[in-house]
Every structure is written in structure tokens, then in C-alpha cells.
Amino acid sequence: MLQNDQILFQILKKEIAAAMKISYPGMNPEISEWKGQEIIDFQEELLGKVNSRLSEKWFYTHIKSENQSLPRIDVLNMLSQYAGYLNWADFRHKNSDSLPFSDTLKKTDSVPVKILLIFLLTISLLFILFRIINTQTYRFGFIDADSGEPIISSKIQADILLKDESPLYYVSDKNGNIVLRTDQSRIRMVVRAPYYLQDTIIRILKKFNRSEKIGLKVDSYSLMIKYFSQTDVAGWQKRRDQLNRIISDEAMIFQFPDLQEGTGMELFNKQEFIDRMTMPASSLSKLEIIDSKYDHGQIVLLRFKINRIKE
């Protein structure tokens, strides 16, 4: 504290010199270089403005020498008043920011902030590195759950369900594989494949076993309709009876449009669809079931399209 007060006293001397220049513009700005008449003028200033007086000996002892001791508190109060402050305490308070220790204190205060920032940066970098290291490529193939035969199709779809995010959409390659790159250890995906029942698959991913086979159940009714579309209409009444049993009376059946032909979406009720399926038409052989939904063992939603017949 003594060292800080010495620094403050040096600041006070500069302010005293600045105050003297107001009354004596030609005054030397360095108070330590005052002598003779300048000291006398300073004594008169103190007497006139703060009603106090300092001896010439005091001036030489505390101003012009390298004396390390501070003046008495009453003298410091008087000099502070002359410089425009209430007292020495007021001067110290208003000039504490000028002390070197203030910068040190600010630096000290900033150290925890810097440490925190460095810590957060390090954690962020480690997290990114962890994700990079743990991001692996997984390959999912699909097999018929009953026969064990691989499902070779480029139309298998998988929606990867993410927490608090929209699903990620994947389509299989020509061999029926879905390739997924992720850093997750567990995934949920909704899988759809032509003529197989939609299923929600949950998998715990293993870094040392990145290729898996997933069994899908056959969509028997869709497969039956596909079979009917590709066979002759012989036994049409039996076929109508079978379709009548597997399709709900409230079923909604959509034929997807052929954009190249310029046709629109068509909606069929149960009887209209049965009529179409038992009517001789070469286009039926190109029927493709897109998907279907069931309730109580009957089809309640069916979507299909007729693929174009190449000339």
C-alpha cells in the first residue's frame, strides 16, 4: 500500500503543477524544478485558496528530493484540496485506476476467464475429435425373414429417426444395401421395401461389426395382388372372392399418376379396384405395389402404379 501511495503522491504533484499553471501560465510544469519565486508563488496560492502554508524547507524535503516518506495526512489533505479534491482519501479513490496494480488486478481477473475459455475450447476440440474417431460407416443388407434369401432391390427405403430432429432419408443401392455413416451407438430406422411389411428396426451399432443383415416379413397380400396382375383371368370369381376378403370395405386405393403420360392421381374404392384386377388388360402385368397398410388383417390403404410398357 505504501508503494501505491507514493505513486499517487507523484500523480498529485502533477495535478498541483497543472492547477498552478491556471493562475501562473508561465509556471514550469515540472514541480520538482520549481525554485525561488515559483515556490513563493505556490505558498501564496495555498494561503489564498486553502488557507494553509508550507515552508520552503518542507518543499525541498518532499518535492525536490527523493524522500520516500509521505507527508503527514493533514498536508496530503490540504494539497488534495488545492488540486480540487475533498481530501487525500477522495484523491486516492478517484485515481486508483491509474495505479499499476490496477492493470495487474485486471489481468488477474481476466485469468479465470482465459482459463475458462481455454477449457471450453479444449472440450470442444476433444468432442469434435471424439466424433471424428467414432464416426464409422455401417452397411445394412436385407433378407426375407422366412426364406433367408437376400432382398435385391434398389427401392428399399430407410428413415433414420433422430432425437429432436427430422428423419434422415436413405435409399438402397442396386444390391439392396443401405450405407450409413454415423457416430451414434444406437439407431432407429423405419424400413420399407416393395412387397415387404414396413418395420421399425432398432440396432446397437458395433464398431467391429459394421455389416448386418436385417430380416423383413413378406407383405403377403401385396404379393398376392401382384401375382393376380400377372396371371390370366381364369377363375375370375375365385380371384374376386379372395380380393374381397383381404381388402377392407373402407379401403382407400390410390393409383399414382404417370407424369410422362400426363395422367393424374386416381382413387378407387374396393369394388372398383376388384373390377379392375379381374378385367383383361395387358397393362395389369406392369402393376407395382408401392405400399400398403393394414387393420385387423385387411388392407385399408393401398398405393400402386402401372409402369409404362416399352414399345
Are residue 196 and residue 280 in the same domain, yes or no? no
- What global pTM score does this model have? 0.51
Are residue 19 and residue 84 in the same domain, yes or no? yes
Q: What is the CATH number of the domain that holds 172?
A: 2.60.40.10
DSSP track, the chain: -HHHHHHHHHHHHHHHHHHHHHH-TTS-S-GGG--THHHHHHHHHHHHHHS----HHHHIIIIIS---SPPPHHHHHHHHHHTT-SSHHHHHHHHGGGSHHHHHHHHHHHHHHHHHHHHHHHHHHHHHHHHHHH-EEEEEEEEETTT--B---S--EEEEE-TTSPPEEEE--TTS-EEEEE--SEEEEEEEETTEEEEEEEEE-BTTB-EEEEEE-B-HHHHHHHHHHTS--TTHHHHHHHHHHHEEEEEEEEEPP-TTTT---EEE-HHHHHHHHTS--GGGGGEEEEEEEEETTEEEEEEEEEPPPP-
Are residue 201 and residue 243 in the same domain, yes or no? no
Q: Residues 266-280: pLDDT tens digits?
A: 899 999 999 888 877
* Domain count of the fold of the chain: 3
Are residue 6 and residue 93 in the same domain, yes or no? yes
Q: At residue 29, what are phi and psi to the nearest 5 degrees?
A: -70, -15
In a domain, 114, yes or no: no
In a domain, 105, yes or no: no
Instruction: Please provide the average confidence, as pLDDT, over all residues in the chain.
Output: 85
Domain range for 266 is: 220-306
In a domain, 120, yes or no: no
pLDDT per residue of the chain (311 residues) written in tens, 0 to 9 = 467 888 888 888 899 999 888 888 888 888 888 888 888 888 888 888 888 888 888 888 888 777 678 888 998 898 989 888 989 899 888 887 777 654 444 555 567 777 888 888 888 888 787 767 778 889 999 999 999 999 999 999 999 998 888 889 999 999 999 999 888 888 999 999 999 999 999 998 887 778 899 999 999 999 889 888 877 666 778 888 999 999 999 999 999 887 666 567 889 999 999 988 887 766 777 888 988 999 999 999 999 988 875 53
Q: Domain boundary residue among 98, 122, 144?
A: 98
Q: Domain boundary residue among 216, 246, 280?
A: 216
- Edge to edge, what strands does the sheet with 287-295 contain? 266-268, 247-255, 298-306, 287-295
In a domain, 229, yes or no: yes
Are residue 224 and residue 210 in the same domain, yes or no? no
Q: Residues 58-98: pLDDT tens digits?
A: 888 888 777 678 888 998 898 989 888 989 899 888 887 77
Q: Domain boundary residue among 216, 250, 266?
A: 216
